[in-house]
Each structure stands twice: as C-alpha cells, then as structure tokens.
Structure 1
Amino acid sequence: MDESSPRIVALVPAHDEETTLPAALASLRAQTLPPDRVIVVADRCADGTVAVARRGGAEVVETVGNTARKAGALNQALAALLSVLDDADLLLVLDADSALSPGFLAEAVATLTDPTVGGVGGIFHGRPGGGLPGALQRNEYARYAREIHRRGGRARVLTGTATVFRVATLRAVAAARGTRLPGRAGEVYDATALTEDNEITLAVGTLGLRAVSPRPCTVHTEVMPTWRDLWHQRLRWQRGALENLRAYGLTRVTLPYWAQQLGMYVGILGVALFLLATALFAALGELGPPRGLWLVVTAVFVVERIWTVRRRGPRGMLLAAPLVVEFGYDLVQQAVFLAAVGAMLQGRAPRWHHLTAAPA
C-alpha cells in the first residue's frame, strides 16, 4: 500500500466460531484491497477458534474477564488499537460468520474519502441452507438490499456483519460517551446495548456523520436455521432497537427510527383488524375470492412481492408468489415485536442466543 494511504485493520470478534471463521478469513485474503492486519478477537472460546485463526494467518487477541459479549470484546481490542492507529486509518469490524465480496474494502475506502461519511456498512445477504426459515430470510434480506439501493445507499444500520469506520470517528464516539452519547466514557461500544451495531449507528448519526451502504459492499452471512433460532435473534434485535431509542430519546437523528417503529406497531394493529374482519366475513358466509377492484389490488400486491425478490432467481420468486407463506413469516415477526415490547416493559432480563451449529 502507498505510504500516504490509510492502513486498514480488520477486527473479527469470535465466540466459538471454528466452523465459520475460515470463510471470513478467506474473504479478507481475497480482497482486491486487502487489510494490512487481521485480528481475531477470541472471546471466551471453548472450541478451536484460536487455532483456526492462527492457521488462517490472523493475529489473535483473547479477551480477559469480558462479561459484555461482543461489545465488551471489541472494546478490549479497540482500547489497545486506537492508541497506535492514526486518525485517517480505517477499521473493519467483521462478524466471524460472514464473508465479504472481493471489492468490499476498496469501495469502502473510496467512500470514506468523503468526510461526511462516518461508516460504510455492508449490504447483507443470507447464505444457503436453513430450510424454509432460511429461504424466507434470504427473501427478506433481498428486499432490504433493494430498499437501500432505492434510498441512494443510505443505511438504516451500520450492520454488525461488516462495517468500516474511520479511526477518527471511533475516537470521537469514545470521547462523547457519558455526555452526548450513552455508555461509559472512553469506550467505543456501549456495553449495555443489546444491539451494538444499531446503537453505534445512532452514535455516529448524533455526531453529525452519515451511515452508507454502497452497492458493491455486499456480505454473505449465516441465516437462522430453525424457527426457535430466528425467534431469539429477532427478539434481541427488536428489543435492542427499542432500548437504544429509549436511551437516545427523541432527536433529529432518532426521529426517523421512532417513526419506523410507530409504523410497524400501527401495521400490527392493521393486520389484526384485517384478520378479525376476515374471520367475521367467513363466519357470515360472505368470504370469497377477490373481485373487481380487490382483484386488481391483490394482483398488484402479488406482482410487487415477486418483483422485489427477482434477483434471488426462480426459487425466491416462487416462494413469494403464494403470499400466504411470506404472510405467515410476517406474522411471526409481528409476534416478536409484541414480545419485545412486553419483555422490555416487564423488565425481564434479555436472553442471549448463540448459534453453534455448522451452517447447512
């Protein structure tokens, strides 16, 4: 790398990830602009993660006494790294169960030459496997990627799967903790946050910087292979999002996120009323196939569902076509949203869930 170019350090937090880590490290070696250093942060690993990391050519840092999971592991590593890196250097945080597209880092470096950009997040796609839950997640991720493209690359979340930050941005976040930002002074990540990626997105926005996800910055990540795994993952995501908003309050930065949450819960009410009306019409014998205007509306909705996953090919489109399958998936997610609110209001301790099975 040219001496005037920023150094790139890849930080890979890993907890018992011996099966998925090789693909993550291979994707870093395959970058058109590879990182200068790759550091695996092994957090309380009881498997072969450390040995796998060293065989893959990575440096290894093992956490000491960490009780704050991913955020705590990253904070321990960053406490040492930020003292030796320059403000212009770049730091990639990559999940050990995720793999980057080859041009990811080159695009992120080019994007971060814009001083208004605080972080470049990946556009994530689901890996193969996982049966029906996995297929539904891949369709969901395809629609989210399409939404980002239509928003001009503006990201709602600097995803934990893969995000590149300027070191100066991380220093600014750490300096603002305990005053402008929630969390402990001097730490980059808020160790109390259930969703550290969502929280640091709000932190970056509060400091006046933008979160972006350029089209070439794609990353493939694991999907939850069972409904139980999916439930626990989404429950943590939703409760974390709500708690982050509560911590930040209503600001210019959080207003769109509050509006999104309000829209989701109003939508749940709308679905409940629709199901109630459907049951009532069925009981009265008035339920039948759509006709006239309702037939047109239904057809448009079906086409929209199919069109928005066309990049997934015939399998994704066939899954979307019947509507009822994806509608059932939406109902599961709405149940998660309600459960998250209930758990937060009742003050129940959050339950962490780690997927240990090898991907299908």
Structure 2
Amino acid sequence: MSTRPWPPQDPDGPQRVLVAGAGAIGCTLAARLAAAGHAVDLLARGATLQALQAHGLQLEDLDGHWIAPVRPVDAATLAALPPGQAYDLVLLASKSQDLPALAAQLGGAIGPHTLVLPLVNGVPFWYFQGTGGRFEGRRVQAVDPEGTLLARLPAAQLIGSVVFVTAEATAPGRVRSTTPHLLMLGELQPDPEGRLSPRLQALCRLLQDAGIQARGLPRLRDKLWTKLIANLTSNPLSVVTGATLADIYADPVLLETVRSVMFEAMLVAAAHGARLEIDPIEFLRLGAGMGAVRTSMLQDFERGRPLELAAIGDALVELARLYELPMPATQTLLAQTRWHAQRREGALRRRAA
C-alpha cells in the first residue's frame, strides 16, 4: 500500500482541518487544533450547530479554559465545496455506527492529498487493509456492512488510531476533559523494519504542537487489541449490571464473566498475529484501579442512545469466526446486553407515547 506525501503545504505552517463530528471528543480535538493556529472547520448539526454559531466552541481541560476559533459547518457546506478546496486533514469523530452516514456527507472535503484520521471505538473498518496474507483487503461486515467506508475513504490516505481521550459534553458546544489527550497512531501497512513514515511523523508533530499527545507506533494493531479487550470486557457488562469499572474488575461474581470474555478475546488476538502486552492479572488490577467510572456504553444506554455493540462485540466475533474460534461467553454477554437495550428502548417509547 503506497502512501501519499503529506502535508501538501508547509509542514510547519497552519493546515486546513475538518473535524467531522461535534461530539465530546471531536470538539476537544477541534478546540486544541484551532487554538494552535490551524484553520479548523467543525461539522455539526442541530442544537450543537446552533450553539457553535451563536457562542463558539468552549473547552475546559487540564491546561485551562479555551474559547476556540473554529468555523461550524453543515453537510450542505461540504457538499458545495468547489474543486481544489479539499482539506489537508480530516478527523472522523463519530460513533462507529454513524460513520457510514458521516462519510457520505463529506462531499469534496477529501481530495487526493487529504490525510484522513478515523477516531472510532471497536474493530475499525480498515482493519484488514495493509495486513497482507489471506485476509488482505477484506471488509469487516459488522462495521461496514455495505462497503461504504472502504469505497469512500481511500485506504492509502488513512492513518489508523487508537483513542485514549475522555471528554464529556456539558452543553451543546461546551466540553470538559479531565485527562491527557492521548492518541496512538500508525500506518495501516506496518513498515517491516519498524520505521515510522514521514507523513505519520509530521501528523504526530502537528497534534503534539496542539497539546495532543500523539504517539506513532510501527504496529498499531497490537495496541488496538489491548483496547478492544478492555472495551469488550467492560462496556457490555456495564449495561447488563449497571456496574462501574471498579466493580466489573474486582467483584468476584462479575470477574467470572470478565475472565471468560478476556481469554476468548486474547485467543482471537493471537490468531490474528497481535503481540499482546497484556498480563491478565495486571489487566484486572488496573481496571479495578480506574475507580467508580461508568463506561461510555452505560451512559449511552441510560440516555436511550444506540450502543456500539457492532464494533465492540459483533466485529470481534466476526474475526473469531475467520479462525473457527468459539466465543460462547462473549456471545452470551452480547445477547444479554441487547436484551437490556431493547427493553430500555421499549420503555422510552411507552413513556413518549
């Protein structure tokens, strides 16, 4: 897989950036990039778009309070972009299930030299791009069922990411983040000698200069599997039980499920060639040490929002089936989670009627 030169302008100068998705993480990164002097457009809609137009974007993080000079745009603005006005960098910051629809709104935002950085949870749609072997180029059906993402987002222009940014929208256009903004980045096709491409190094510098801890990795999928296992063992179980991370990873009753799911996922990771850094005992200890944290999936469940089960759960089961590996504990947990989500959805419909 060839890589395109980037950035097309002065590597040390301001870049034209589109952050597509005005959720908490998208707003956090947009604010930091704009404060660093880049020309940042933020794709938004509804109440968030109106709030950004009226009051701008405000971020409170470990470095203080930022009122960021971003330009809010809607899908119609992107669709009307004239030729030659594509962005230098596009960040896709949405829930995984919303990404196909988001990609369809980008219009002329992505040109031949645009670098595209998807920031999503779970198994990414690009997982099999650049891997080589018998699964090279395969579509992950659970997250890209129609092939929309692979068709619209050129693999040669993608940089993969594992996101360790936590943020909360306190109101439309207002975000609070109380942890460092950490991104792990990597080319989809690893260099056999472990070198980082010039464009990956340039992107890391750009983000670091904006106060975002961007670390380039020669084998990004190894780190991705660590987060996949963390998400799989915590998010669905939090919906089923209502438990915090401290309880999920320490309560003896819940630990039985956690261990079963963890070992199933570790076997799948090994089958796909991942070099895991996970010590299972230390993994559980660190999880319990996170304290009374409610997962993002539990928060979505309580607010009646769709859950990212396809990317966090179904896609991992899909990868297991490629090696005929059973995942009974995982599939049972996912089924229980869906039962709770459907029951919650029904209750919300009755309440609204």
TM (norm. structure 1) is: 0.32
Q: Which structure is larger by alpha-carbon Rg, 1 or 2? A: 1
Q: Which has the higher contact order (CA 8 A, sep 6+)?
A: 1
TM (norm. structure 2) is: 0.33
